[in-house]
Amino acid sequence: MNRSVFEAAQEAVPYEAERRAMVEEQIRRRGVQDPHVLDAMFSVPRHEFVLPEHLGAAYEDRPLPIGTTETISQPYIVAAMTAAARISPGDKVLEIGTGAGYQAAVLAYLGAEVVTVERNGSLADAARERLQWLGFNRVKVVEGDGTEGYPADAPYQAILVTAAAPRVPEPLIEQLADGGRLVIPVGDRNRQDLLQIFKHGAETSTRFLDPCQFVPLIGKHGWPGPK
Ligand code: SAH
């Protein structure tokens, strides 16, 4: 039996129907309209960032476990944070909390020069390898405490924190460029507000975006770690 041209075309993009449904139903319908962000969410293969046992759930409307406590964020939250960061090609962008590397890949797809910091060394190594293998060669994955930022490459046009902070870490404001955007969940360990913070000169202004739930940001300017 020959496959029809239609079937062959459908197979060209793995999980194409799931990706389309994710973009339409979870992201566009909830208010993220930026065509570049929607294109990135469709194009970055989320199934490459999840554990093999979660392949079938890769495009579902929820975070998925990637380690003992760590998760890959829900697609809508990744899209909302990316849109709030207002990425233009060539922007230098810092992400705190590499996890699986998915958010970093979405940022890189939009043409950002991405530096991403992860405190868990084995997750950092796995993400570095995965991003290389998928062709995201310009993402720099650094192992360390991201609550201190990454001063070596500052200033950044945008900073995204993908773990829950008890308060805004001061070094991140310092390392933001004038006109830069910081997108960060701030709150207690169970529930946070996703904030969009703009830096104008010595001033900042803050907008509330969404309620959210992230794993804790652990470090010097975050929550204390396990003993
Ligand atoms: N952005 C990721 C999901 C992040 S989950 C993705 O797209 O897959 C949150 C991550 O933040 C976890 O991997 C956790 O280990 C990490 N983390 C927590 N505190 C951190 C800190 N101080 N510095 C860097 N990473 C941190």
86-97 pLDDT, tens per residue?
999 999 999 999
Residues forming a β-bridge with 196: 183, 207
Q: pTM of the predicted model, to two decimals?
A: 0.95
pLDDT confidence tier of residue 4, bands split at 50, 70 and 90: confident
Pocket residues: Cβ below 6 A from ligand 1? 70-73, 96-97, 99-100, 102-103, 117-120, 123, 145-147, 162-163, 215, 217-219, 222
* Angle ∠(131,165,144) on CA atoms, nearest 5: 45
pLDDT of residue 151: 98
pLDDT confidence tier of residue 157, bands split at 50, 70 and 90: very high
For residue 99, give the ligand 1 atom closest to its CA: 13
Spatial contact of 125 and 118, defined as CB atoms under 8 Å apart? no
As a whole-number percent, the residues of the chain with pLDDT over 90 amount to 92
Q: Which of residues 61 and 3 earns the better pLDDT score?
A: 61
Q: Cite the active site residues.
A: 73
Mean pLDDT of 23-46: 98
CA dihedral of 82, 17, 56, 109, whole degrees rounded to 10 = -30
pLDDT of residue 12: 81
Q: What's the chain's average pLDDT? A: 95
Q: How many CB atoms lie within 10 A of CB 215?
A: 18
Beginning with the edge strand found earlier in the chain, give each strand of the sheet holding 192-200 in spatial order.
140-143, 113-118, 92-96, 156-161, 176-187, 192-200, 203-212
Q: Please tell me the distance from the alpha carbon of residue 97 to that of residue 76, in angstroms, as a whole number.
A: 17
Tell me, in angstroms, the distance from the centre of ligand 1 to residue 162's CA: 6
Does residue 227 have a pLDDT over 80? no
Mutate to test the pocket of ligand 1, among 62, 66, 120 (most ligand atoms within 8 A of CB): 120
pLDDT of residue 67: 85
Does residue 3 have a pLDDT over 90? no
pLDDT digits (tens, 9 = 90+) for 161-177: 999 999 999 999 999 99
pLDDT digits (tens, 9 = 90+) for 37-68: 999 999 999 999 999 999 999 999 999 999 88
Tell me, in angstroms, the distance from the centre of ligand 1 to residue 63's CA: 13
Does residue 10 have a pLDDT over 70? no
CATH architecture of 5-212: 3-Layer(aba) Sandwich (3.40)
Report domain extents, the chain.
Answer: 5-212
Instruction: Pick the residue whose CA is nearest to atom 10 on ligand 1.
Output: 97
Does residue 99 have a pLDDT over 70? yes
Length of the chain: 227
